[in-house]
Every structure is written in C-alpha cells, then in structure tokens.
Copies of this chain bind each other. A is one copy, B any other.
C-alpha cells in the first residue's frame, strides 16, 4: 500500500508520523479547557468530539455521545465492526478525494501547543517479561549466563499485574520515588530515594473487546484495539530488595508513561510479522495461527537538563518472543476476565546488540559500564532533570505509521515527611 493522500497537506510527506494511512486516536484539551477526542492527521488534530456534537461524525448509527467526555474507552468497547466502519468514515472525510472539505477545516487543531490527555481509562495494567534479549541480559547479570532464563521462560509469557493508577500520558513529569533499599553489604534496609531509577522501552497493547473465560490466540488478537509506546519506569534498587518471593511491587508503581496516540491494529495490518522460531515447542494453546507481532522501529533518547538529547538505544518490536495476542491468551487461561481498557505492557524490548538494549540496567550492565552521552556526560541510571523520549514507527513504502513520542522528565525526590 502506498501513501494515501489527504487534503491536509502536512499528512502527505514520507516523514510525518500521521499520514492518512495511520489515523491514530488521542484525547486533547481544547482552548476552553475541555477534554475532546481527536484523530491525528499530519501536524493537525481532527476534533472528533466537536464533529459528533455537530452531527457530522457518529461512532455508529446506534450510538451518540460516545465521544462526549473526550475519552475513547466507550468507543473501544463497541467492537471490531464499529471500529472498522468508523475508520472508513474518517478516511473518507480526510481523503484528498474529498476535495478541500472547507466545512471540516474549522475542526482542525494544530498539534503544536496542544496538551494531550490520557486517551482511555486504564482498567487494569499487566506488564510482561517477554523479550528474550532483555530476559537473557537481566538473568545473566543476576544469575550468570548458565541460568539466565528462568526454566518457565520458554513456555510461558511471564507477566505480573501492575498498577493501573500509575499509568500517565506522555509529558507527565515523573518524581523519583522513595523506597526501602538494602545494599548487598548492608545488614538492614533504609528508607531513601531510589538511586537506580531506570526506563524500560516497551509497547503497550490495549484491550477493546472484553472477554470472560479463556480465549484463543486468534480471539485475543481480535480483542486488541491498538498499540501505544510505553515506558515502564523502574526502581531497580527497590525491586532488588522487595521482589522475592512475590514479584515487583513498589519498584514499578511510580509511573508508567504511554504515548498519547493509540495506533489501531487496522493501521498496522501491513506490518505484521511472526514471532521467532522456538527452541522449545509451545503448548498448543499458545501457538499463533498467523503473524501477530509487528515490525515497528523503536528508539529512545536521553537529554540531560538543558542539554541535547542522545539516542541511547534503537530496537524493534519484532524482537519480542511472545506477541501481545499470546500474552492476552495466556492471561485468560485461569478464567480471568479481561475488560475494555486493560493495558498489556510487552516487556522491555532489547535487540541482540549492546546498542539495542531497552533499559539503562542493560545499557550500563548494572552500572558497571556507564554509558557516555553525546554531551560527554555519563549515565549508569537516570539523574534528576533527565528527559527520556521514546519514538516508534512502522516504515511503509514512502510513508510511516508513527506513534508520536512518549516522553517524561525526572523530578527530584520529594521531601519525606514520614521517614
């Protein structure tokens, strides 16, 4: 498929994240301070809530006021037929074949200077550990190369429940957490600000259609509404002391940032790719009937306060060992009900080489090999004032399906009133 032309000229370049082929869904604050639903097109946002109010664009023939509150959650619950019909309507509205569409120009808002909001209400958040390079790297550091992968890793998309209340939209500052820390040579823990605060470069899959009981991998893929970039901020020192025997808890509860534009499965359809060959055959319930991973190029930059950004890693979503569909299927094996707005983090996406590693833990090898930035500064873990930015796109023939960016700046730890 080539670049599809829009009457919004900025959407017709090979560099834009948001050509007519993409049409991702976000929420933004209007000049009046209201939350509205919008669709990104080039460097503009089409105001979907205003179009609905004026009767020019409805979520479906049966539903009204779906976009009234400026949140996509209700729409996500309407299911694949509504998603497809609505996407067709917007495509038609914004297509160059629709002429100049002067009646629509007043519904366009510039992206620059517009505040983006969380595009959906996170029902529950699950984070996985399904990137093999990441698991091998972390396992090698902690348990040595012989025991790098836990015995279950090749059989199960390992996941744990995260904290939905921690999920924030890109642009939200992230305050360095306090927590219990215990050095390897300390007898007892102390309560102090995290000294090994880190990022994790991930993709997030968003559940649209709810389920009860177990679903197949194909049904799971059908349930997914779309994808976002996701940064699972991680306090490594808190995690090291707390995580045995029941897993990470406060180490992962400070913040999880997501990019503001939900890129739909429909937009990514042409970029499907398969998970890798297996060294251990998967149990039948986890086997994929077709390609359910995506070829999405990813990068992360780090900018110290007031300084230029350095690209610290480049990787690709196709490095995952398990797809989001496999993760979602496994999530339902116990009979666990899934709901509209459930968010699934892929796990850290590291590639095979050092420059492909999606966390500072791996990039600095646990702090032993600090990273040198283009500014000359070094980093083992994040410092106050650092701004981290994730970007990603699927590269088409003369166009991109882009995700925009997922950014956050580290604020110093607050005063502790309770220590």
Cross-chain contact A166 with B254 (CB below 8 angstroms): no
Asked whether A180 and B283 contact (CB < 8 A) given A242-B158, A247-B246, the answer is yes
Chain A contact-residue range equals 35 or more
A334 near B247 (CB under 8 angstroms)?
no
Tell me whether A352 is interfacial, beta carbon within 8 Å: no
A128 — nearest CB in chain B belongs to which residue? B246
Contacts of A250 in B (CB 8 A): 330-331, 333-334, 336
Residue-wise interface mask of A (329-360) relative to B, using a CB-CB cutoff of 8 A (1 in contact, 0 not)? 11101111111000000000000000000000
- Residue-wise interface mask of A (244-284) relative to B, using a CB-CB cutoff of 8 A (1 in contact, 0 not): 11111111011100000000000000000000000010011
Q: A254 contacts B178, CB within 8 Å?
A: no
Complex-state Cα separation, A219 to B309, whole angstroms: 41
Set of chain B residues within 8 Å of A191, measured between Cβ atoms = 283-285, 333
Name A124's contact: one of B163, B329, B331, B333 (CB within 8 Å). B163
Q: Which residues on B sit within 8 Å (CB–CB) of A368?
A: none
Q: Which residue of B lies closest to A190 (CB)?
A: B283
Main secondary structure of the interface of A (DSSP, over half): loop
Query: How far in angstroms is the closest Cβ of chain B from A333?
Result: 5
Q: List A residues at the B interface (Cβ < 8 Å).
A: 123-124, 129, 150-152, 155-156, 158-166, 175, 177-180, 182, 188-191, 213-216, 235, 238, 241-251, 253-255, 280, 283-285, 329-331, 333-339, 414, 416-419
Which B residues are CB-close (under 8 A) to A418?
214-216, 284-285, 329
Q: Which residue of chain B lies nearest to A165 when distances are taken between CB atoms in the complex?
A: B337
Sample (6) of A-B pairs whose CB atoms are under 8 Å apart: A150-B245, A151-B244, A158-B249, A165-B336, A178-B335, A214-B417
Partner of A188, one of B159, B280, B339: B280
Q: How far is the CA of A329 from the CA of B419 in the complex (A)?
A: 12
A280 to B246, CA, bound (A): 21
The chain B residue sitting closest to A233, CB to CB, is: B334
Which of B216, B242, B253, B335 makes the CB contact (< 8 A) with A335? Answer: B253
Partner of A246, one of B159, B175, B285, B339: B159
> Do B416 and A214 touch (CB < 8 A)?
yes
Cβ-defined partner of A162 (8 Å) among B161, B178, B245, B280: B161
Known: A180-B155, A191-B285. A245 touches B243 (CB 8 A): yes
CA distance A333 to B162 in the complex (A): 15
CB-CB < 8 A to A165: which residues of B? 123-124, 336-339
With A283-B191, A285-B418 in contact, is A158–B335 under 8 Å at CB? no
Within the assembled complex, what's the spacing in Å between the Cα atoms of A303 and B387?
A: 59
Cβ–Cβ contact B152 & A238, under 8 A: no
Known: A191-B284, A216-B418. A249 touches B159 (CB 8 A): yes
